[in-house]
A and B are shown apart, each in its own frame.
Chain A
Amino acid sequence: MNFFVRTRKKLSKILKAFFRKRQSRIGIYGPPNAGKTTLSNRIVRDWTGDVVGPVSEIPHETRRARRKEGIVISNSNGNTLTIDIVDTPGVTTKIDYKEFMEYGLEKEEAIKRAREATEGVAEAMHWLREDIDGVIYMLDSTQDPFTQVNIMLVGIIESRKLPVLIVANKNDLPDAAPNRIRSAFPQHPVISISGLEGNNVEELYEKMLDYFG
């Protein structure tokens, strides 16, 4: 890249930063392995053709918050919404490297993952405080929603008066029970989807337009 192109790019970035209206920044929160990155990837791929980050079955695959800016979501009625999606590390109260060794990681690697995951939780909470305008709270609908972390974290989000959409993920699995999530959080809208298969994501987009617009 030559000097002029680089300078022009830089300049336009600075100008954009100055004149752009701040978009609402939507954080995807939830416990580890709920499918936050899978959903982020789907949203970003559906509307921009890009991806956010890798996914895996080992918990705490996402250990840094990842942001994708300027995603424009629209519906057939012509409503549009421009958002930044922040994919956050899974929030939990206990992280033990031994858990990762059960997935076949070596001890050293597992300890490193645990350290990074701990930093990741701190970072996720930092973002929640500083930089998030709305939350998609993601739950695995095959799991019990009444956990300390879920109740605590939803409480924290509520106390910050942020709008919350609750997503009951993994509805493609036979033991998915989205109604259990509905009864756990009756104060918030709950949408049952499969981030992996794409079931019902249109309803989620509609709700996002409605709720975060």
Chain B
Amino acid sequence: MAHKCTKCGREFADGSIKILKGCPSCGGNKFLYIRNTDLHKDVLEEKSVETIAAETKEEIMEIKPEIHSEVDIYDRIESIRVLNPGSYELNIEKLAESDELVVRVGNEEQYIVDILSMSKSKKKRKPNDK
């Protein structure tokens, strides 16, 4: 069954992934299930989306877009995420824990594990080092 944005009336094909982050036109996050026979009904019959919803008694689905709060950065396993060359997200808690580096590249689950940084001896540095 197709979806219709309850805010602006834009229609989307069944299972369209476009609505997963809210309506691309108005940002609305409530969508009405509509039968294919009811497509464009609001325009053709000058009905509001509410009226169609009341008439068809179909469910309204609410999309909850993923909340990207800054908090989740500290649940990550990587110490540094490279989004693009020159754009980084740093997990300061991980960096404070140890020198062992796990780098995540891009938004895919691709990781680079710096084995060398993990094999270093735990010997305390002399004050004159560096």
Residues of A within 8 A of B (CB): 17, 22, 25, 91-98, 110-111, 114-115, 118, 121-122, 125-126, 128-131, 148-149, 152-153, 156
Contact = CB atoms under 8 A, between A and B. Distances in A.
B86 interface: yes
B84 to A, nearest CB: 8
27 contacts: A17-B128, A92-B90, A93-B90, A93-B91, A94-B89, A95-B87, A95-B88, A95-B89, A96-B86, A96-B88, A97-B85, A97-B86, A111-B85, A111-B86, A114-B87, A115-B86, A118-B90, A122-B79, A122-B101, A126-B99, A129-B96, A129-B97, A130-B124, A130-B125, A148-B73, A149-B92, A156-B96
A110 B86 contact: yes
Contacts of A25: 127
B41 to A, nearest CB: 45
Contacts of B92: 91, 93, 121, 125, 149, 152-153, 156
Interface of B: 70-71, 73-74, 79-80, 83, 85-93, 95-99, 101, 124-125, 127-128
Contacts of A149: 92
Nearest to A115: B86
B86 A125 contact: no
Contacts of B127: 17, 22, 25, 131
A114 B88 contact: yes
List the 6 closest pairs (A to B, CB-CB), nearest first.
A97-B86, A111-B86, A125-B95, A114-B86, A96-B87, A118-B88
A122 B87 CA distance: 15
Contact of A93 (B73, B86, B97): B73
Contacts of A152: 74, 92-93
Which residue, of B86, B88, B124, B127, has the highest number of chain A Cβ atoms within 10 A?
A: B86
A119 to B, nearest CB: 9
Given A25-B127, A93-B92, A126-B95, 7 more contacts: A17-B128, A93-B89, A96-B87, A122-B90, A125-B92, A131-B127, A148-B70
Contacts of B83: 96
Contacts of A118: 80, 88, 90
Contacts of B88: 94-96, 114, 118
B13 to A, nearest CB: 35
Nearest to A110: B86
A93 B70 contact: yes
Contacts of A91: 92
